[in-house]
Structure 1
Amino acid sequence: MKVFVLINSLGAGGAERSMVEFAKFLFQHDGITVRFVCLERRKIGLEEEVASIGIPVTFYAGKNSYTSKIKFFNKLIDKENPDIVHSVLTQSNLIARGARIKNRKIKIIQSLVNTPYSLERKKDAKLPWYKFQMAKQLDVWSARFSKNIFYHSITKEVLEHYKPLFHIKDNYKIIHRGRYENSYSGSVKKSDEFLIVNSGRQEFAKGQIDILKALKHLRDNKGVSDINFMLLGRPGHYTEILEDFVKKNYLENQVSLPGFVDDVEKRLAAAHAFVFPSYYEGLGGALIEAFSAGLPCACSNIPVLKEVVGDEKRALFSAPGDFEVLAENILKLYEDKELREELGRYSYQRFQESFRMEKINKEMLDMYKSLLKH
């Protein structure tokens, strides 16, 4: 079996991490070869890790046009003749659909990893709405006119988001993303001061500004100023906004923004709770990482995170943008050690039952084998 993974980049996002881990799993199997095809390079990410393993990577280096990228990818297909093309993220999905016009025999799997056309995005002041609508229509119509595409959705919620847009019928499989167990959990000393953590790129979707607003609310209205917050994740469009809020509201003693780090597992293990107030998500891989560390969680009540948690009583939920309720939930975790321990035990149990990487990788490989039989 020869597999091409077509992906925007080997950056530091959840989709990239998941595909790298799956590719490592495939690479260990006799009779399976895997290659990454990347449309761009990122300074921060997983490129070095992939290279050290020996998985081949081909980078596109031409003009920034869909036509050029499709020609480039078609040449690779003609040369290597892969059995499966697995594309991930919207731009890569578009390129794979374009390649389908010429190469009709290849098996194409496209991962659906987010809910990008959620109306919550209207709240993003940095998003040009006309460009958003144009991108949506290109995605939708290219999917509707592409034949014999098989979709891998990472949650039921993501599938329901795309089903009416892409006219998906029975050509799909739902397989969650997985994570490995946190190797530091239980062996790393908890932070001396109460520490909450969020992990994710610094973008509007992650709602990290609401954590900062919640901390300010607790300080100004409850007199609680000894809750520390660490934000792990690469800088993005909202970095300047976050940094500006910290400075203007004198939160420097409580807030740490280390950016992208390579010891996330260890830092999670040292935290007391995980806070994840996203406006929209495909799955919330960071939440699963928190589960693997046995952390109690406070998160937004969007359907996909309820799906991941699995039981509405086993995490503390608040509406996206409602920083006052989020603040109350953080305060509950801060004040109630017994609650933290109860929710933390459930988090770890949920991880073991549903999100172990070994289980997910096997399901993904079985999906490949099933597709090749048809």
Structure 2
Amino acid sequence: MLGIDEASPVLLHVARIVEGKGHGDLVPLMRDVRRHFPDVRMLVVGTGDLEEAFRRGLAREGLDDAVRLLGRRDDVPALLAAADVLVFPSRSEGMGLVVLEAMASGLPVVAYALPAFEEFARDGDTGIFAPVGVREDLTKAVLELLGDEARRAAMGRAGRVTVAERFRWPNAAAVLAGVYEQVVAMRGSR
């Protein structure tokens, strides 16, 4: 895909390139990961007002050939399927939908441990979640997963199972029905 050698490890990051999404952490992370995996590639999906600054940071570290900025894409599911690890260094999220999408596609996640992920992601099971802002721990997690195909596969399976069990339509319908019942009960007590 995208002319990347099939033997090359592929990291994926999907987010707007704006303040708080962690793009500044991706530059040193890739620099350090590349020391251990020289053929690693990262695909970055998204655009935003910090895109040029991000490009300059990549150029300063000589990462132009290792990181591809893809802009907006309609084929994110295909990119998730082609990647080995989702790297998501965002420092705040309301829901973290891309993490959930990665899990649904069987892709292990390396991210900061945000409250938004506590509902569905489990550290060490569906991915590795580092303390917020500790970029070195993100790098260590990426290195661990790139070096352990069996662990990546196990985390991918666990992510798929989690999403299938917790976010199936019958479960979502039951939650919605419960909300409606609460609203009706509240209105009836007036």
TM-score for both structures, normalised by structure 2? 0.84
Q: How many residues align?
A: 181
2:68 counterpart SS class: strand
| Contact 1:200 1:206 (C-alpha < 8 Å) held by counterparts | yes
> Does residue 244 of the first structure (1) align with residue 56 of the second (2)?
yes
| Contact 1:205 1:278 (C-alpha < 8 Å) held by counterparts | yes
The equivalent position to 2:42 in structure 1, one of 226, 229, 240, is: 229
Structure 1 stretches of 5 or more lacking a match?
1-189
The equivalent position to 1:352 in structure 2, one of 164, 179, 184, is: 164
> Structure 1 segments of 4 or more deviating over 4 A?
none
Q: Report the AA paired with residue 212 of structure 1.
A: V
Pick 1 or 2: higher relative contact order, CA cutoff 8 A, min separation 6: 2
**Cα 1:358–1:289, aligned 2, differ >3 Å: closer, same or farther?**
farther
Paired with 1:253 and 1:274, the residues of 2 have a C-alpha distance of 19
**Cα 1:333–1:324, aligned 2, differ >3 Å: closer, same or farther?**
same
* Identical columns (%): 27
- Could you tell me which residue of structure 1 aligns to residue 30 of structure 2? 215
Greater Cα radius of gyration, structure 1 or 2: 1
Compute the displacement of 1:197 (Å): 0.8
RMSD of aligned residue pairs (Cα, Å) = 2.2
TM-score for both structures, normalised by structure 1? 0.45
Paired with 1:336 and 1:343, the residues of 2 have a C-alpha distance of 11
**Cα 1:358–1:256, aligned 2, differ >3 Å: closer, same or farther?**
farther
Q: Report the AA paired with residue 360 of structure 1.
A: A
Paired with 1:258 and 1:287, the residues of 2 have a C-alpha distance of 19
- Could you tell me which residue of structure 2 aligns to residue 269 of structure 1? 81
2:28 counterpart SS class: helix
Q: Report the AA paired with residue 230 of structure 1.
A: L
| Contact 2:24 2:54 (C-alpha < 8 Å) held by counterparts | yes
| Contact 1:198 1:230 (C-alpha < 8 Å) held by counterparts | yes
Compute the displacement of 1:252 (Å): 1.3
Structure 2 stretches of 5 or more lacking a match?
none
Q: Report the AA paired with residue 31 of structure 2.
A: K
